[in-house]
């Protein structure tokens, strides 16, 4: 049962981070309109199961009035709300509170801020740290998201004695292009026999982008809600019969590559690495399920 909706309110971002799942940048166009937000909330009302709604991006604060209107709609349905932001707007302590206090008044439950070197370098006092401090002062729950460049964690090993890759980055989106280095250990492609991150059989939450794609994982869609209503997509979803999720459920990224006879390397850094590149190779075959192309670094 889907209980969470994550709005990718805009695909545009004032940053262009190397680890971004979605390839967001100032050049990636696509933002919800007010009427589109209303349409999604009408579908959420039909579902009657949505308990939590997040506003993300891209950078949702770039469209602050739109974001707050969406939050009001979500609260009218009885859902809790949260936001993920890079905090570019927190240029001083006073400014941080200026942007956050209206969210307190709206009843936002959580604001997560990205505070890492991808966004703010190694500067200790930065917009994210100011935003985090302001959240504490005005009593909005939140936390810092800190992703580090991938590196070997020599203090940890996996079951077979293999070194663990630290940092928290997942090799989807721009991370595949920017963060994979020769020093990172790899495994044989046939070892990736399951999806370790997503509930493909019965998703608990979905992301919806401004183009109408309903993401089970970034760039992997149930379908398009501008063509088929969201409530119908969710209620009729069958992971086993989905052309991409089905093979992933059966045998992970290795089975997806095998089923569609996709050319592949002998080894990959992790399951996301193999899955992402396999899906990218299948875009033209399944454009309705592997969308938008911008998430794969194409046609931005």
Query: How many CA atoms lie within 13 Å of 199's alpha carbon, on the beta-carbon side?
Result: 10
What is the per-residue pLDDT for 166? 76
**What secondary structure, in 3-state letters, does the chain show?**
CCCEEEEECECECCCCCCCCCCCCECCCCCECCHHHHHHHHHHHHHHCCCCEEEEECCCHHHHHHHHHHHHHHHHHCCCEEEEEECCCCCCCHHHHHHHHHHHHHHCCCEEEEECCHHHHCCCCCCHHHHHHHHHHHHCCEEEEECCECCEEEEEEECCCCCEEEECECCCCCHHHHHCCCCCCCCEEHHHCCCCCCCCCCCCCEEEECCCCEEEEECCEEEEECCCCCHHHHHHHCCHHHCCCHHHHHHHHHHHHHHHCCCCCCCEECCHHHHHHHHHHHCCCCCCCCCCCHHHHCCCC
Q: Which domains are assigned to the chain?
A: 4-85+148-185+203-228+291-296 (3.20.20.70)
pLDDT along the chain (300 residues), means of 10: 97 94 95 98 98 97 98 98 97 98 97 84 86 96 82 60 71 91 92 95 97 97 98 97 98 98 95 97 98 90
Residue with the two structure tokens 């004695």: 161
What is the per-residue pLDDT for 294? 96
């Amino acid at each position: 049962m889907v209980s969470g909706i994550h709005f990718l309110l805009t695909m545009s971002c004032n940053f262009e981070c190397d680890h971004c799942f979605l390839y967001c940048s100032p050049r990636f166009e696509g933002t919800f309109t007010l009427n589109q937000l209303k349409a999604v909330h009408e579908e959420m009302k039909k579902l009657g199961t949505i308990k939590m709604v997040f506003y993300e991006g891209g950078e949702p604060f770039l469209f602050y009035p739109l974001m707050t209107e969406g939050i009001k709609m979500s609260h009218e349905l009885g859902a809790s709300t949260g936001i993920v932001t890079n905090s570019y707007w927190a240029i001083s302590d006073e400014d941080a509170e200026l942007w956050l206090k209206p969210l307190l008044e709206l009843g936002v439950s959580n604001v997560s801020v990205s505070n890492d070197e991808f966004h703010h370098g190694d500067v200790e006092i930065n917009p994210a740290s100011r935003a985090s401090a302001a959240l504490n002062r005005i009593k909005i729950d939140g936390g810092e998201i800190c992703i580090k460049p991938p590196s070997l964690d020599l203090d940890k090993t996996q079951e077979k004695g293999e070194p663990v890759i630290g940092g928290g980055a997942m090799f989807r989106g721009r991370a595949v292009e920017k963060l994979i280095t020769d020093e990172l250990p790899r495994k044989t492609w046939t070892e990736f026999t399951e999806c370790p991150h997503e509930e493909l059989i019965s998703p608990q939450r979905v992301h919806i982008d401004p183009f109408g794609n309903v993401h089970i994982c970034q760039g992997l869609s149930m379908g398009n809600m501008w063509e088929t209503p969201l409530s119908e997509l969710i209620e009729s979803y069958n992971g086993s019969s989905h052309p991409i999720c089905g093979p992933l459920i059966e045998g992970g990224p290795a089975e997806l590559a095998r089923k569609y006879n996709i050319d592949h390397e002998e080894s990959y850094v992790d399951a996301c690495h193999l899955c992402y590149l396999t899906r990218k190779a299948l875009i033209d075959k399944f454009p309705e399920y592997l969308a938008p192309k911008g998430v794969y670094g194409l046609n931005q």
